[in-house]
């Protein structure tokens, strides 16, 4: 246990009680409610580098990292300085500003498939807008997605969805009209035959949306033949390929997973990462397609806070830091080492069988000995045991994502010290399970 980790949670408990009276479930996003791990949320007072500090004075090595944006750790000096300096000019104008142009130019340089970019305020907004555009551009209606992938909470995506839904053991939501979900076909990830069949069965497919590395069912890596089929079949059937890089963009490589795996999507969705933790999203792609977006085109999509100067300043600062000194070799080594040490901890503690999937900056420890290649194999994990493991890790000072169906996000601030402490915590937690 880290020296300052504490089991006293009275202040968090008191805040949670107040929160439940005025916020549904006491949280503003179900993923942080800790229900699946039979715990209550910690209320966070501050964060620094690789650490979170709760309101009771507890200190935790953080692997949530605001669900992805904290590639360089919390409170990166450049990001803080950019926000502080921009803040003096104002907070929102409802009119264009220079930083939006710089952001679109930089995103286009780093992710060349994004010839034109529209800023929005979240990943959910990005995917909903990209889907509307794909439908308008192709003149078709149907969407293909993959089981366990999550593309935000837009109606069309809540079919066999991962992330918070998989965590709660549901796959859709009341309130989504059947007419909407009937236009979404969800098939297993990495399954080329299912993809072929879906295209054979439906001649009205507007788009295929996919996570190039799944994070929302835990980490699942794409097979090359699957990625090849995605591009070939969408092209052959005049459907658009939408790459959801909300979690992978600028994290697994400077040019995202599309650079890493040489994917050429028509549209790309980005999220929280381009705001370095401030609320942002973006979608972009081929000029010919993006020019259909209003006001240059007829596809309507808008947002008062889109391109907000503070969010642009923060995001640009992080992207510039990543570009000037790419941390990807280092982050890959950190993630590899973490995977190796957790695997060793499981063996030396004679703990449960684990399957560890990982890529630069993303990792999942599945409590199953089977290979995890899609949602069905991820779902073979022992989720009750995962809850116990999670609670034991928290007692040891490690804040791991509170779901078997989410990715953990190490940052460049996770040095040997934090990795060794995490490995020790896993060993103790695994031992406590047997
Ligand atoms: N699956 C989300 C990350 N992409 C978790 C965050 C949330 O929904 O609050």
d(CA 202, CA 125): 26
Confidence band, pLDDT 50/70/90 cuts, at residue 221: very high
| Mean pLDDT confidence for 20-38 | 94
> CATH number of the domain at 10-63+327-433, out of 3.20.19.10, 3.90.79.10, 3.90.1150.10, 3.40.50.720?
3.90.1150.10
d(CA 287, CA 116): 6
For residue 287 the two structure tokens come to 């000029």
Is the pLDDT at 53 greater than 70, yes or no? yes
- The CA 154 to ligand 1 mean position distance, Å, reads 13
d(CA 329, CA 312): 26
Is the pLDDT at 6 greater than 60, yes or no? no
Q: Select from 260, 290, 274, 257 the least CA-distant residue to 114.
A: 290
Class of domain 77-324: alpha beta
Query: Considering 137, 150, 189, 328, which one is annotated as catalytic?
Result: 150
Is 261 annotated as catalytic?
A: no
Confidence band, pLDDT 50/70/90 cuts, at residue 3: very low
Q: Is 167 helix (H, G, I), strand (E, B) or coil?
A: helix
Q: What is the DSSP letter of 43?
A: P
Pocket of ligand 1 (CB under 6 A): 29, 31, 67, 150, 163-164, 216, 247, 406
| Mean pLDDT confidence for 165-171 | 87
Contact of 87 with 309, CB cutoff 8 Å? no
d(CA 259, CA 19): 42
* Distance from chain centroid for Cα 67: 6
Is 272 annotated as catalytic?
A: yes
- The CA 403 to ligand 1 mean position distance, Å, reads 11
Domain with CATH 3.90.1150.10 in the chain: 10-63+327-433
Is the pLDDT at 432 greater than 70, yes or no? yes
- The CA 98 to ligand 1 mean position distance, Å, reads 30
Nearest CA to ligand 1 atom 7: 31
| Residue 4 confidence (pLDDT) | 46
Between the two ends of the chain, the Cα-to-Cα distance in Å is 19
Give the Cβ contact number of residue 243 at 10 Å.
30
Give the Cβ contact number of residue 112 at 10 Å.
12
d(CA 233, CA 56): 53
Give the Cβ contact number of residue 302 at 10 Å.
11
Is 244 annotated as catalytic?
A: yes
Position in ligand 1 atom list of the atom nearest CA 406:
1
d(CA 169, CA 306): 33
- The CA 215 to ligand 1 mean position distance, Å, reads 9
Contact of 363 with 356, CB cutoff 8 Å? yes
Determine the residue of 32, 44, 67, 275 to mutate for testing ligand 1's pocket, defined as the one with the most ligand atoms within 8 A of the Cβ atom.
67
For residue 321 the two structure tokens come to 């830091």
Q: Select from 268, 273, 270 the least CA-distant residue to 284.
A: 268
* pTM (predicted TM-score): 0.96
| Residue 170 confidence (pLDDT) | 87
* 25-39, 68-82, 329-343: least confidently modelled range: 25-39
**Order of all β-strands in the sheet with 59-62:** 44-48, 51-54, 59-62, 398-399
Looking at the chain, the whole-number percentage of residues with pLDDT higher than 90 is 94
For residue 368 the two structure tokens come to 């199953």
Report pLDDT digits (tens) over 96-151: 999 999 999 999 999 999 999 999 999 999 999 999 999 999 999 999 999 999 99
For residue 89 the two structure tokens come to 């000019």
d(CA 41, CA 402): 10
């Amino acid at each position: 246990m880290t020296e300052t980790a504490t089991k006293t949670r009275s202040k968090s408990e008191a805040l949670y009680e107040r929160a439940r009276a005025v916020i549904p479930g006491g949280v503003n996003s179900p993923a942080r409610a800790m229900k699946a791990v039979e715990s209550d949320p910690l209320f966070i007072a501050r964060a620094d580098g690789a650490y979170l500090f709760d309101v009771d004075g507890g200190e935790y090595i953080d692997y949530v990292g605001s669900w992805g944006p904290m590639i360089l750790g919390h409170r990166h000096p450049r990001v803080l300085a950019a926000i502080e300096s921009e803040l003096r000019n104002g907070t929102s104008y409802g009119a264009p500003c220079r930083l939006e142009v710089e952001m679109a130019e930089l995103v286009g340089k780093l992710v060349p498939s994004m010839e034109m970019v529209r800023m929005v305020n979240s990943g959910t907004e990005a995917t909903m807008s990209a889907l509307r555009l794909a439908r308008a551009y192709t003149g078709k209606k149907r969407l293909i997605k993959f089981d366990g992938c999550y593309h935000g909470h837009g109606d069309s995506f809540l079919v066999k969805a991962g992330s918070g839904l998989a965590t709660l053991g549901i796959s859709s939501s009341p309130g989504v009209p059947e007419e909407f979900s009937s236009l979404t076909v969800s098939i297993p990830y990495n399954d080329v035959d299912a993809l072929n069949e879906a295209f054979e069965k439906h001649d009205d497919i507007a788009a295929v949306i996919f996570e190039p590395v799944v994070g929302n069912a835990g980490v699942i890596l794409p097979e090359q033949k699957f990625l090849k089929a995605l591009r070939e079949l969408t092209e052959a059937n005049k459907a658009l390929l939408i790459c959801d890089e909300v979690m992978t963009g600028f994290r697994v490589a400077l040019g995202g997973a599309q650079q890493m795996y040489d994917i050429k999507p028509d549209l790309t969705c980005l999220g929280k990462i381009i705001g370095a933790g401030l609320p942002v999203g973006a979608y972009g792609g081929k000029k010919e397609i993006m020019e259909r977006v209003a006001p240059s085109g007829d596809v309507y999509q808008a947002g008062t806070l889109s391109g907000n100067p503070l969010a642009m300043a923060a995001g640009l600062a992080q992207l510039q830091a990543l570009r000037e000194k790419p941390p990807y070799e280092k982050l890959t080594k950190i993630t590899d080492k973490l995977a190796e040490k957790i695997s060793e901890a499981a063996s030396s503690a004679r703990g449960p069988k684990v399957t560890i999937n990982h890529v630069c900056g993303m990792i999942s420890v599945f409590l199953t000995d089977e290979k995890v290649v899609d949602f069905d194999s991820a779902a073979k994990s022992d989720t009750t045991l995962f809850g116990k493991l999670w609670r034991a890790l928290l007692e040891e000072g490690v804040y791991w994502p509170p779901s078997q169906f989410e990715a953990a996000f190490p940052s460049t601030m996770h040095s040997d010290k934090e990795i060794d402490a995490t490995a020790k915590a896993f060993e103790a937690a695994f031992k406590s399970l047997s």
